[in-house]
Amino acid sequence: MQTVIEKIIEGEETQNQHKIESAAKIIREGGLVAFPTETVYGLGADALNPAASARIYKAKGRPSDNPLIVHIADMDDLDKIVVCVPAGARKLAKRFWPGPLTMIFEKRGIVPGETTGGLDTVAVRMPDHPVAQALIRAAGGYIAAPSANSSGRPSPTLAEHVASDLDGRIPMILDGGAVGIGLESTIVDFSEEIPMVLRPGYITPDMIQNEIGELRMDPGLVEEDSTIRPKAPGMKYKHYAPKAELILVNGAQKKVQQTINNLTREAIESGKTAGVIGTDESYGGYRYGIVKSIGTRSDEDTIARHLYRILREFDQQNVDIIYSESFSTPRIGQAIMNRMLKAAGRQVIEV
Ligand code: TXA
Ligand code: MG
C-alpha cells in the first residue's frame, strides 16, 4: 500500500478542506488515516466499525487487549456512546474540553468491543486541534485513535515520525506540522466510584482536583511497586522506548553533570556510541558523546514537547546508550517523568 502524505498549509483553506474530506472518506469506508492532535499524532479509524478498529491493531502491531480512545468533536456526541456522564466528568469536560484530557465511562452497545479491547468501558477525548476536529466531524463523529507509532516506539510528534513507523501500512497521513504538547493526554477513569487518574499528562491532578474535589491515583502508577498492574492496559507495556538503553541521573545539577561526563567517557572508551540529554542551561557543560538539549528548565512545556523527538533522533544516530538528566519539574513534570522512567526501564542513578 502506498502512503500518501497530505500537508495542511496555513492560509490554503480550500485545499485543506479537500484533503480533510478525502481523509474522512477513507475513514468512513473503514480505512485508516494518521492525523495531528495537540498531544501526539493519532492513527484514526471509524470507532463504531469493528473491522476498522481491528485494522488499527494490525497496522500498529498492538496487543488486542489494549483499548482505543474514541475522539469526538461535539459534546452532544458523548451521550450517544456512554451510559451515564457523572457530574464531575461534565465539570471536567466543560473546563478542559476540547483539550488533552481523556475520560473513561461505561459504554453503550453501539461501541464495538473491537474498539474497547473487549472492555465494557470506553475512553473518550475531544481534541483541541482544528484538523482533528474537522476530520472527526467529516468522518461521522467518532474516530478511534491510539498514538500513530508502531507498538512500543515513542509516540509521534511529527508526521515524519508516523511515516517512519507506518509507511506502506496506512493509506494517508495528514501532516499538520509539530504537535503542541508532545505527551499523550491525561486519562481519568469515571467508571469507578471515586474518579481515578490512570495516566498522568498535561492536565495535572491539582487542576482536576480544583474542579471536582476527590480524586485517586491508580496504585499501578506508583513507580516502586511493580507487582500492582496499572488499570489502563496500555500502561503495563514497556512503552515509549528508544532502541538505545536509557539511564536517568538524578541529583544536584553539578554532580549530575560530573557523573554523566564520567559515564559517557567510559561508554565511549568501551566502544559504545553515547548520547546525553541535557537542557539549554546545562548542555554546554557536557564533554563527551552526542549531546542534545531537550528544552529549557524555565519552561517545562518545552521539555515535554521535545522528549519523543529526541529519543527518535538518538535511534536514527544508532546510539547505544543515553544518559539523561531527570526532570521532576513541578507541573507537567509528573507526566514527563512517568514517560522517561518507562523508557528507561526504571534505571535511575542517584548522585
Ligand atoms: O493524547 C492521546 O491520548 C493520544 C491522542 C492520539 O489522542 N492517544 C493515545 O492513545 O495516547 P493510546 O492508545 O496510545 O493510549 C490510550 C491509553 C492506553 O494506555 C489504553 O490502555 C488506555 O488508554 N485505555 C483506553 N481505553 C481504556 C479503558 N476503557 N479502560 C482503561 N484504559 C483504557
Ligand atoms: Mg500509545
The long-range contacts involving 89-97, CB below 8 angstroms and separated by at least 24 positions, are: 89/188, 89/190, 89/195, 91/211, 91/212, 92/188, 92/208, 92/211, 92/212, 93/126, 95/211, 96/203, 96/207, 97/125, 97/126, 97/128
**Residue 331 in this model has a pLDDT that exceeds 90:** no
Query: What is the arithmetic mean of pLDDT over 331-336?
Result: 90
Query: Is the CB of 121 within 6 Å of ligand 1?
Result: yes
**275 CA distance to ligand 1 centroid (A)?**
30
Let me know the angle formed at the C-alpha of 39 by 296 and 216, rounded to the nearest 5 degrees. Answer: 95
Closest atom of ligand 1 relative to the 71 alpha carbon: 7
Which one of 184, 203, 238 would you pick to mutate in the ligand 1 pocket, going by the greatest count of ligand atoms within 8 A of its CB? 184
CA angle in degrees (0–180, nearest 5) for 317-321-327: 100
Q: Are 317 and 309 in contact (CB under 8 A)?
A: no
Tens of pLDDT, residues 76-120: 999 999 999 999 999 999 999 999 999 999 999 999 999 999 999
- pLDDT(222) > 80: no
Phi, psi for residue 35 in degrees, rounded to 5? -145, 155
Task: Please write the tens of the pLDDT for every residue from 224-281.
Answer: 666 778 888 887 766 667 789 999 999 999 999 999 999 999 999 999 999 999 999 9
Q: Hey, what's the cell of 91?
A: 465539570
CA distance 298 to 317: 28
* Contact 151 CB / ligand 1 (< 6 Å): no
Q: Which of 224-228, 299-303, 320-324, 347-351 has the lowest mean pLDDT?
A: 224-228
Q: What values do phi and psi take at 20, rounded to 5?
A: -65, -40
Ligand 1 geometric centre to CA of 250 (Å): 29
179 pocket-lining for ligand 1 (C-beta < 6 Å): no
Write out pLDDT tens, residues 110-167.
Answer: 999 999 999 999 999 999 999 999 999 999 999 999 999 999 899 999 999 999 999 9
Tell whether the model's pLDDT for residue 192 goes beyond 80. Answer: yes
The answer, yes or no, to whether residue 9 has pLDDT greater than 90, is yes
26 lines ligand 1 (CB under 6 A): no
Nearest to 149 by CA among 164, 129, 136, 135: 164
Pocket lining: 39 vs ligand 1, CB cutoff 6 Å: yes
pTM of the model: 0.96
Q: What is the pLDDT of residue 152?
A: 86
| pLDDT for residue 224 | 61
Ion ligand 2 neighbours (CB, 5 A) are: 147
Q: What percent of the chain has pLDDT over 70?
A: 98
The mean pLDDT of the chain is 95
Name the residue with the closest Cα to ligand 1, atom 7: 42
